[in-house]
Amino acid sequence: MDVSLLGGTGDIGEALALRWARDTDHAVVVGSRDAERARERVADYEDELAAHGAAGDLSGCGNEEAAARGDVAVCAVPAYHLADTVERVADALGPDDILVSPAVGMKHDEAGAHYNPPAAGSVTALAARAAPDGVAVVGAFHSLPAGPLSDLDASFEADTPVVGDDDAAVETVAGLAEDVEGLRARRAGGLDNASEVESLAPLLINIGEHDDDCHDVRVQFG
């Protein structure tokens, strides 16, 4: 499978690129608004993999080319860039493609992090509105701490809730998640449930910031 990471030069993009490159045979296409930046980051990722005795099928290019090459496109950009990013690559997405949104709307103040959904109700719903007709949209990877996920020296165990209205697309993304060693997908229903899933992220951040016994918190169910 070809997996593209739109905005794959950021924290969660790096973490997913490293894990999929190390743990799977998927071709991972790292996208960026700046194609040269994407290629530079791919070189960094390859160095990191080599330092751990691993290699992977990685390449870098602009977001539009990445979207065209991927069977699954993960929009690994902040929530406030998501709609613009999806609209820019819309012509490169085909009806058989799957668009994945891991973004969460948050605001921060002295008390901590707070869920701040858009008017659409969730960032995943916002992605669905921006996506071309026929492109299945799935929400996943919202509550994963990027730091531990990108640390190839450490084992990583966590669950990621997956939401979507297209059952086949949900199963594809769930399988892609579980291709990462230690990561388990949990089906959480349709896109209408995305706000509940997304709101886990600020909760976990607040626990990590305020509880000295918990750092880089992640969720596991059952």
Which 3-state string (H, E, C) describes 38-54? HHHHHHHHHHHHHHCCC
Kindly state whether residue 132 falls inside one of the protein's structural domains. yes
Kindly state whether residue 182 falls inside one of the protein's structural domains. yes
3-state secondary structure of 70: coil
Give which of 20, 6, 163, 198 is closest to 90, Cα–Cα.
6
Containing domain of residue 102, as a range? 2-210
**Sequential DSSP letters for 23-36:** H---EEEEEESSHH
Burial of 159 (0-12, 13-18, 19+ CB in 10 A): middle
pTM: 0.96
Kindly state whether residue 216 falls inside one of the protein's structural domains. no
Low-confidence ranges of the chain (pLDDT < 70): none
d(C-alpha 133, C-alpha 109), whole Å: 38
**Sequential DSSP letters for 109-170:** ETTEEEE---TTSSHHHHHHHHSPTT-EEEE--TT--HHHHH-TTS---EEEEEEES-HHHH
Report residue 208 as tokens. Answer: 């990590």
d(C-alpha 24, C-alpha 10), whole Å: 21
Kindly state whether residue 222 falls inside one of the protein's structural domains. no
Kindly state whether residue 70 falls inside one of the protein's structural domains. yes
Q: What is the pLDDT of residue 72?
A: 98
Kindly state whether residue 100 falls inside one of the protein's structural domains. yes
Kindly state whether residue 217 falls inside one of the protein's structural domains. no
The per-residue b/e assignment along 44-63, b for 16 or more CB within 10 angstroms, e otherwise, is: ebbebbeeeeeebebbbbbb
Share of the chain above pLDDT 90, in %: 95
215, 152 contact by CB (below 8 A): no
Give which of 167, 174, 162, 93 is closest to 130, Cα–Cα.
93
Which residues lie closer than 8 Å to 10 by C-beta, 6 or more apart?
76, 77, 78
Q: What is the pLDDT of residue 213?
A: 87
58: phi then psi, degrees, rounded to nearest 5: -120, 140
Tens-place pLDDT, residues 57-115: 999 999 999 999 999 999 999 999 999 999 999 999 999 999 999 999 999 999 999 99
State the chain's mean pLDDT as an integer: 96
d(C-alpha 36, C-alpha 146), whole Å: 23
Give the CATH number of the domain where residue 28 resides: 3.40.50.720
Number of domains in the chain: 1
Kindly state whether residue 220 falls inside one of the protein's structural domains. no
